[in-house]
Every structure is written in structure tokens, then in C-alpha cells.
Structure 1
Amino acid sequence: MTQDWRLKASVGLAFLLAGCSGAAIPRATPPRATAPPPTIVKPVQNNNLIGNSADAIGQMFGKPRLDVAEGAGRKLQFAGTACTLDIYFYAARAGAAPVATHVDARTPDGRDAEVNGCANTLRR
């Protein structure tokens, strides 16, 4: 009888363990890393310089007083007795040529100036 009990216990344990060997619980897979969408620079200003290349701006005003690389952008500065003009260039999308996307104009004492008026006084 002792062996009979052991046999029944072993068989019961085998059935119990067999019930645990079902399909594995699926594990969540981490999401695939995707590249961020390309940055698109959209001009918010409306003046005669927006959208021009640095070469086109150089033809309009000559040699800049400053030519500074700033991260992914570039700034050209033109100055005269009436005003100073800062023109910022960024590529609209990866691989595109940089164009003027923002322009600041100021008087010699630091007050804001009208961009198109300043540009007209600085033209060659």
C-alpha cells in the first residue's frame, strides 16, 4: 500500500506539472526605434529677403560684416550708418540648400528697424 500511495502521488505530480507546461506567456517586444521626422523650418516673416540663398544675399549687399556658423544655421550681418541687418539661414529639410528664414534689423542705438527699409539702405 505504501508503494501504491507513492505511485499515485508521482502520477498526480506528473499530471500537475504537465499542466504547467502549456504555451509560454508572450513577452511584450519593445517598439522599434524610428528616426525622428526631419525638421522643417518654415519662415514666419514676410519680407523681401526670406527664401534667398546666402549667395543671392551677398550679391545684394556685398561682403558681410560678420559670417557666423551657429549650429545647423548661419548668420550674415550687414551694417551701415542707418541700420544693421542680421540674416539667418537654415535648410528647409535635410539635404536642402540653406535659405534665409529670419531677418532682424535694428538702428545703431539698438531699436528695432523695419527690415525692408533697412535692406534698401544697405543695398549696393
Structure 2
Amino acid sequence: MRKTALLLLPLLGACVSTPSPSGPGPSRPSAGTPPQQVRPAPTTQAFRAPRIMNMPGLENVIGKNETALANLFGAPRLNVKEGDARKLQFAGDACVLDVYLYPLQPRGEPSATYVDARRASDGIDVDRAACVRALRR
């Protein structure tokens, strides 16, 4: 009995009618009204300054540009650019250091504003300053 009722549900759904919109069709603008112009949304976004990490032991990293970081740690293992931001990854036996660079002013050169560190072996978070010390040349 239940199977029969379930089989009839789609058939009953097909019998339901949808109301048609009432009223006259689309109206035409009067001859004296000029057509409206549609303007596309602006594609540029307002500059938003990044928050800058402030932790002891990171003074040699925060605020540095890509060249200064490469001088400090060597060539990055990973260099990802997205828009005006950049992520550099430096790795050693002890840890992996991710440095995020953002411009501090509109059209400015990206500078390190945030650092994250993890153990190279298992990815567990480690002390950022200790990782910086371990990776320095």
C-alpha cells in the first residue's frame, strides 16, 4: 500500500498547475523617456592596509621585502603571488617557515607582515622565532 502511494506522488505533482502572472504584458517606455544606462560595478577595490604581526624574535623578518628575506634565508622553496600579495616558504630540516607579504600602501612593494612556522616532519606548529633562528644562513 505504501509503495503504491509513493509511486503516485510524482503523478500527483505533475497535476499541480502554477499560477500565471496577472496583469498586462511588459510595458514600453513612453517616447519622451530616455532609456536608462546601466553602469558596470567598479572593478577596483579600495586599498586596505594589512595588520602587521608584532612578536619578539621576528624583528629581522617583519617589514622586510622579498630580496631581504632571500638574503636572510636563501632562495624560497615556494613563491606564490596572488594579486598584490605574496607568500614565500623557506624550509630546512627543523621547520618550514611561511612568510606573507602585503603592500603597506597602495601600489607599494610587498613587505612581510605575518609569519607562520611548523615542524618539517609532521606539520605541527612550532615557535616562529625559533624557526627563524634555525633557518637563518
| TM-score interval, smaller chain | 0.5 to 0.7
Confirm or deny that 1:114 pairs with 2:121. no
Aligned to 1:101: 113
Distance 1:101 1:55 in 2: 15
Aligned to 1:84: 96
Pick aligned residue for 1:59 from 57, 67, 71:
71
Distance 2:124 2:114 in 1: 17
Determine if contact 2:102/2:112 at 8 Å carries over to the other structure: yes
Q: Structure 1 regions of 5+ residues with no counterpart?
A: 1-34
2:125 maps to a residue whose letter is D
Quote how far apart the aligned CAs of 1:113 are. Answer: 0.9
Aligned with 2:71: secondary structure?
helix
> If each structure's helix is expressed as a fraction of its own residues, which one has the higher value?
1
> Which protein shows a greater Rg?
1
Percent sequence identity over aligned pairs: 42
Q: Please list, as runs of the form range in 1=range in 2, the aligned pairs for 1:12-91 lying within 5 A after superposition.
A: 37-46=46-55, 47-48=58-59, 49-91=61-103
> What is the alpha-carbon root mean square deviation over aligned residues?
2.0
What TM-score do you get using the length of structure 1 for normalisation? 0.67
Give the 4+ runs in structure 1 shifted more than 6 A.
none
How many pairs were matched up?
Answer: 92
Q: Structure 2 regions of 5+ residues with no counterpart?
A: 1-43
What TM-score do you get using the length of structure 2 for normalisation? 0.61
Distance 1:79 1:36 in 2: 34
Deviation track 1:13-35 (CA, whole Å, cap 9, x = no partner) reads xxxxxxxxxxxxxxxxxxxxxx8
